Amino acid sequence: MHYATIKDCDIANGPGVRVSLFVSGCTHRCKGCFNEVAWDFHYGEPFTEETVQMILKMLEPAHIQGLTLLGGEPFEPENQEPVLELLRAIKMQYPGKSIWAFSGYLFDKDILSGRLGPWEVTKEYLSYLDVLVDGPFVLEKKDLSLRFRGSSNQRIINVPASLKEGKIVLWEDWQGFERGIK
Ligand code: SF4
């Protein structure tokens, strides 16, 4: 896997101050994509053990709430195993830090179907996620007032609650998060 960027102080892609990893490679090709250069699976830097160690170090300060995965597409079959290794290391070292991911795939129709890779890999990957913002960016549904989403078709999903209940549980509903705000 390659990655485009790592930010060590991101306040736009999840709650609190976060480290964000923009992986390379995306097959969705959404019209109006914010990061077209990262469609190429070989864009940017190779993702290595040194990269994992660098991210672990960035996550160390107490004010860093967690990691956010973006892209590119963190759920492309080619990207799942390297991301999984990172998530394992984070959960072992920082079990209290949250993990968010943004994906153009749909949680129920694409990711849970198991068609994006060996199911054992996808299943363990999902077990480390707190929140998944799913669905492609749809230019016609773009809405700048949305928090953590680019277009209104995307959903902010509470992953552990959804897996437990066997249906989509939205993060805002589960938290009573900012009621009345889109
Ligand atoms: S899923 Fe994200 S990175 Fe991929 S084309 Fe759509 S907006 Fe761009």
pLDDT in tens, 31-88: 999 999 999 999 999 999 999 999 999 999 999 999 999 999 999 999 999 999 999 9
Measured CA to CA, the distance from residue 43 to residue 3 in angstroms comes to: 7
| pLDDT recorded at residue 141 | 97
How many CA within 13 A on the CB side of residue 146? 15
71 lines ligand 1 (CB under 6 A): yes
**What are the E-state strand segments in 24-89?**
45-46, 64-70
Note the pTM of the prediction, 2 decimals. Answer: 0.94
Contact 135, 106 (CB under 8 A): yes
Mean pLDDT of the chain: 94
- pLDDT of residue 97 exceeding 90, the answer is yes
136 lines ligand 1 (CB under 6 A): yes
Residue nearest (by alpha carbon) to ligand 1 atom 7: 33
CA angle 47, 84, 37 (to 5 degrees): 45
| pLDDT recorded at residue 174 | 60
- pLDDT of residue 181 exceeding 60, the answer is no
Residue 134 in tokens? 């799913």
Band (pLDDT 50/70/90 cuts) for residue 117 is: confident
Ligand 1 pocket test: pick from 28, 149, 151 the residue with the most ligand atoms within 8 Å of its Cβ.
28
SS3 assignment, position 76:
coil
